[in-house]
A and B are shown apart, each in its own frame.
Chain A
Amino acid sequence: MSDTVIEIRELSKEYRDFWGKRKVLALDRLTLDVYKGEVFGFLGPNGSGKTTTVKLLLGLLFATNGHATVLGKEPGSVEANQHIGFLPEESYLYRFLNAEETLDFYGRLFKIPALERKRRVNLLIEKVGLDHARRKQLKEYYTGMARRMSLAQALINDPDIVILDEPTSGLDPIGTREIKDLILDLKGHGKTVFMCSHLLADVEDVCDRIAILFQGKLEVVGKVSELLTEEGVVNFRAQNVSTAARDAVRKALETDGSYIGVEKASRSLEDLFLRVVREKTAGAATAMKSEENGQ
Chain B
Amino acid sequence: MHSVLAIARVTLKDALRKKVLFTILFFAVLLTVSSGFLPSVMAEEQMRQVSRICLGGIGFFGMVVAIFLSAPSLPDDISAKTIFTVMTKPARRWHIIAGKILGLAYVLAIMLLVMGGLSYGYIRLWAWKMGPEKSGLPRLEGNELNYAETADYHGLTLEISPPMVESKRAIASGLDRITYHFRGLNGARFSGDTIFAQVTLFSHSWDYDNVTKEGTAALEATNPTTGETHVEVFGAKTLRPVAIGFPRSLVDKEGALDVTVARHLPSGSYSATASSVAILSQPSSYGVNFIKALAMMFMQYMVLVFMAVSASTFLTSTVSTIMALFIYFTGSFAEVLRTQALRLGTQANILTMAEHHHGAVHEELSGGAWALNIALRYFYLGISVVFPNLDSYDMGARISENEYITWGTLANGLVYGAMYAAAAFLVAHLVFRRKEVA
Contact = CB atoms under 8 A, between A and B. Distances in A.
Interface of A: 55, 58-62, 76, 78-79, 81-82, 84, 86, 88, 90, 92-94, 96-97, 101, 105-106, 108-111, 150, 153, 157
Contact of A61 (B9, B83, B92, B436): B436
Consensus secondary structure, chain B interface: helix
Contact of A110 (B7, B10, B89): B89
Consensus secondary structure, chain A interface: loop
A108 B87 contact: no
A96 B437 contact: no
Contacts of B80: 92
A96 B13 contact: yes
B10 A97 contact: yes
Given A61-B438, A62-B434, A92 B91 contact: no
A109 B9 CA distance: 12
26 contacts: A58-B84, A59-B87, A60-B437, A61-B436, A78-B91, A79-B90, A81-B88, A81-B90, A86-B88, A88-B81, A90-B81, A92-B81, A94-B10, A96-B14, A97-B10, A101-B13, A105-B6, A105-B10, A108-B2, A109-B3, A109-B7, A109-B91, A111-B90, A150-B85, A153-B85, A157-B89
Contact of A96 (B17, B83, B85): B17
Contact of B438 (A60, A93, A111): A60
A109 B438 CA distance: 22
Contact of B84 (A60, A82, A101): A60
A108 B6 CA distance: 6
B376 interface: no
Interface residues of B, number: 27
Contacts of B14: 94, 96
Contacts of A62: 434, 436
A60 B87 contact: yes
Interface in B1-23: 2-3, 5-7, 9-10, 13-14, 17
Contacts of A108: 2-3, 5-6, 9
Contacts of A109: 2-3, 6-7, 86, 89-91
A58 B6 contact: no
Nearest to A51: B438
Nearest to B92: A78
Given A81-B89, A86-B88, A105-B6, 7 more contacts: A60-B437, A92-B80, A93-B85, A94-B82, A109-B2, A109-B86, A109-B91
Given A61-B436, A108-B2, A88 B84 contact: yes
Interface centre among A61, A84, A105, A110 (most CB of B within 10 A): A105
B87 A106 contact: no
B302 to A, nearest CB: 24
Nearest to A165: B84
Contacts of B84: 58, 60, 86, 88, 92
Contacts of A97: 10, 13
A58 B88 contact: yes
The 3 A-B residue pairs with the shortest CB-CB distance, nearest first, are: A108-B6, A109-B89, A92-B81
B86 to A, nearest CB: 7
Contact of A82 (B5, B85, B90, B438): B90
Interface of B: 2-3, 5-7, 9-10, 13-14, 17, 80-92, 434, 436-438
Nearest to B80: A92
Nearest to B434: A62
Contacts of A59: 87-88
Given A61-B438, A62-B436, A92-B82, A105 B9 contact: yes
Contacts of B438: 55, 60-61
A106 B85 contact: yes
A97 B9 CA distance: 11
A101 B88 CA distance: 18
Nearest to A26: B438
B217 to A, nearest CB: 67
A84 B85 contact: no
B78 to A, nearest CB: 10
A81 B84 CA distance: 12
B221 to A, nearest CB: 61
B87 A76 contact: yes
B433 to A, nearest CB: 10
Contacts of A82: 90
B305 to A, nearest CB: 20
Contacts of A76: 87-88
Contacts of B83: 92
Contacts of B82: 92-94
Nearest to A57: B88
Contacts of B436: 60-62
Contact of A86 (B9, B17, B85): B85
Contacts of B13: 96-97, 101
A58 B438 CA distance: 11
B398 to A, nearest CB: 39
Contacts of A153: 85
A157 B3 CA distance: 14
A60 B437 CA distance: 6
Nearest to A137: B17
Interface centre among A55, A82, A94 (most CB of B within 10 A): A94
B90 A60 contact: no
A84 B2 contact: no
B232 to A, nearest CB: 64
Contacts of B10: 94, 97, 105
A157 B89 CA distance: 9
A105 B9 CA distance: 9
Contacts of A157: 89
A211 to B, nearest CB: 21
A108 B7 CA distance: 9
A79 to B, nearest CB: 8
Nearest to A58: B88
Nearest to A104: B6
A12 to B, nearest CB: 15
B6 A88 contact: no
Contacts of B9: 105, 108
Interface centre among A58, A60, A150 (most CB of B within 10 A): A60
A280 to B, nearest CB: 36
A92 B85 contact: yes
B2 A111 contact: yes
Given A96-B13, A101-B13, A109-B3, A78 B81 contact: no
